[in-house]
Chain A
């Protein structure tokens, strides 16, 4: 027997899922965290029961792609039971979805979750009474402490299909049938009159802070301070570990050790692939003294993901988890809404945009919470082109510390300018924002550490093999002469149009696999500061990495061709424009 976890967004479904199955799904304090379903198993009375975490939805008439997934899941699960999670501080809308599911004939159990929040807000709910009216197990729960969850699971057996007519009969003052949404709302009003009492709501300091940080006059300066703080901590933490420790370990110990123990030595092709390609000094092949220049799969290939990017990724995900769990993201969404409307998106687009700063892949998935095709297409395209991922930012921090600010600004400018243009030419609508702003919460260290661990280890699992593979591939292509050949053919474009050395061809090939590797390889090429900026910008915008590419293909379908077309235009104009800027400034 299958059990679906369903409910409105941000009510705690994923918390339940993790508790019941021991899995590690991302939980965050904003609506729309889960955009795809996940299966797991829980042990109940000696049996393994399949349980599915479903994206949040307000009703069975989907309004976005994530809701479509939820509704489709329900329709494909005839014969399953449903655990319906309701936010006890927002019972009515939770009941709306629950009733819709009940009307479909599913056996349902109801969790009145966020029981603690309801108490905080002096909302009193008579769970017993609700159970009597619905004839469905109803259990008050607190997801974060686990209270009530095992009771809820143990009552799954009591769930049986219920007829709405019978519910109507048991509800005082309601006589009519339930066929339309309005009739359903009337029934819910009737039920809620019997079970909910709103007490005097005492505003607390938390509410005052909530108001302060969401009003533009005070919230915008505060947001700027938060983001600035984010950036400073990010830079200093990553710099401290990379330059302070890891560079020394890799350059002074790891590389020399590899150079002595690995058979072959300079000039040998296998040695070049794995350890050190060396470089010519006065016509003599000389050993490299750092992991940026050695290019070997086990030297650069390990140094880039572990020595440089890992600290950056770690601190980024730590701060992201804090912002997510405290509940700051929806406030940021409100504050930036007006600006994002100018480029055909709305405030909620800040969520995929910020996720993209960690990794573009989950960010492309997160576009599912945007309502229209137009928004999803624009968001996907803009983030893949203009938002550098954490790995790339981490390596830029190390190899172009003086110019990274400019590169980021140039990319953000591109995001807005091309967003503005796309908004004018892409047909379709951008609906207005309508979003719950959840209360601030104290972040729980258990959830924070779990999220950071999951995302960071996820990064290592993908980055290490791909960077090593990328180094090998580029080295082979170098040895085979392919990169030089490519560079020579494309030289007029590289040098004439983009103003970068033709050797950039190599890193651009690497960028297809990993952007961090590409930037690391750029640092070994001799060029001016301005050429370097141009080259790094090119690496960012010229093509999404292969993982993002695959995700865009999966999520975007045909729209992906549109993204590719935009990409071509952007690379040539935005990349070329930078060259023009340098010419005007007289620095080339």
Chain B
């Protein structure tokens, strides 16, 4: 499923980042990498806010839709 489908407080593991090298690198530099576990903080409206390894990060919905996760 895509990241934006995750509800608040749900946990999931990132399995793939779709999109070009540029986006991948951008996300990696913000600590978002395949294999990490994320906890969704806010996904209803506005930018998606998630927690990864204890750090919180906000990410635009367009980018978030390219992140594939597995519960």
Contacts and interface: CB of A to CB of B under 8 A. Distances in A.
Interface of A: 58-59, 63, 89-90, 92-93, 96, 121-123, 181, 185, 198, 201, 210-211, 214-217, 330, 333-335, 337-338, 346-347, 431-439
B53 to A, nearest CB: 6
B55 to A, nearest CB: 6
A215 B42 contact: yes
25 contacts: A58-B29, A58-B30, A90-B55, A92-B33, A93-B28, A96-B28, A96-B29, A121-B55, A211-B41, A214-B41, A217-B44, A217-B45, A334-B58, A337-B46, A337-B58, A337-B60, A338-B46, A347-B58, A431-B60, A432-B47, A435-B58, A435-B59, A437-B49, A437-B56, A437-B58
Interface in B22-64: 25-31, 33, 41-42, 44-47, 49, 53-63
B47 A334 contact: yes
Contact of A214 (B25, B28, B31, B42): B42
B3 to A, nearest CB: 13
Pick the most buried of A90, A185, A334, A347: most chain B CB atoms within 10 A of its CB: A334
A122 B53 CA distance: 10
B41 A92 contact: no
Contact of A93 (B8, B21, B31, B45): B31
A211 B42 contact: yes
B22 to A, nearest CB: 10
A439 B56 contact: yes
Contacts of A330: 58
Nearest to B56: A437
B46 A216 contact: yes
B47 A347 contact: yes
A432 B28 contact: no
Given A434-B59, A436-B57, A185 B28 contact: yes
> 4 closest pairs, A vs B, by CB?
A432-B60, A121-B54, A437-B56, A215-B42
Contacts of B33: 92, 185
Given A211-B42, A215-B49, A433 B60 contact: yes
Contacts of A334: 46-47, 49, 58
Contact of B29 (A93, A201, A216, A432): A93
A232 B39 CA distance: 37
Contacts of B60: 337, 346, 431-434
A338 B58 contact: no
A210 B57 CA distance: 12
Given A333-B58, A434-B59, 11 more contacts: A211-B8, A211-B41, A215-B8, A334-B46, A337-B46, A432-B47, A433-B47, A433-B58, A433-B59, A434-B60, A435-B57
Contacts of A58: 29-30
A216 B44 contact: yes
Contacts of B54: 89, 121-123, 198, 201
Pick the most buried of B47, B53, B55: most chain A CB atoms within 10 A of its CB: B47
Contacts of B58: 214, 330, 333-334, 337, 347, 433-437
A210 B42 CA distance: 11
Q: How extensive is the interface on chain B, given as a class?
A: 20 to 34
A59 B30 CA distance: 11
Prevailing SS type, chain B contact patch: mixed
Contacts of B30: 58, 93, 434, 436
Contact of A59 (B29, B41, B47, B61): B29
A337 B47 CA distance: 7
Contact of A181 (B8, B25, B55, B61): B25
A432 B30 CA distance: 14
Contacts of B57: 434-437
A216 B53 contact: no
Nearest to B43: A215
Nearest to B37: A198
A63 B22 CA distance: 11
Nearest to A333: B58
A436 B51 CA distance: 10
B51 to A, nearest CB: 8
B16 to A, nearest CB: 15
Nearest to A123: B54
A198 B35 CA distance: 14
A432 B61 contact: yes
A93 B26 CA distance: 11
Nearest to B62: A432
A526 to B, nearest CB: 49
A347 B27 CA distance: 18
B53 A198 contact: yes
A93 B8 CA distance: 26
Contacts of B31: 90, 92-93
A215 B41 contact: yes
Pick the most buried of B28, B30, B33, B57: most chain A CB atoms within 10 A of its CB: B28
A334 B63 CA distance: 15
A432 B46 contact: no
Nearest to A199: B54
Nearest to B45: A216
B63 to A, nearest CB: 6
Nearest to B9: A211
A330 B53 CA distance: 19
A56 to B, nearest CB: 12
A36 to B, nearest CB: 22
B44 to A, nearest CB: 7
A401 B56 CA distance: 41
A488 to B, nearest CB: 53
A119 to B, nearest CB: 11
B58 to A, nearest CB: 5
A211 B47 CA distance: 13
A333 B56 CA distance: 14
A207 B57 CA distance: 13
A121 B53 CA distance: 8
Contacts of A59: 25, 29
Contacts of A63: 26
A92 B21 CA distance: 18
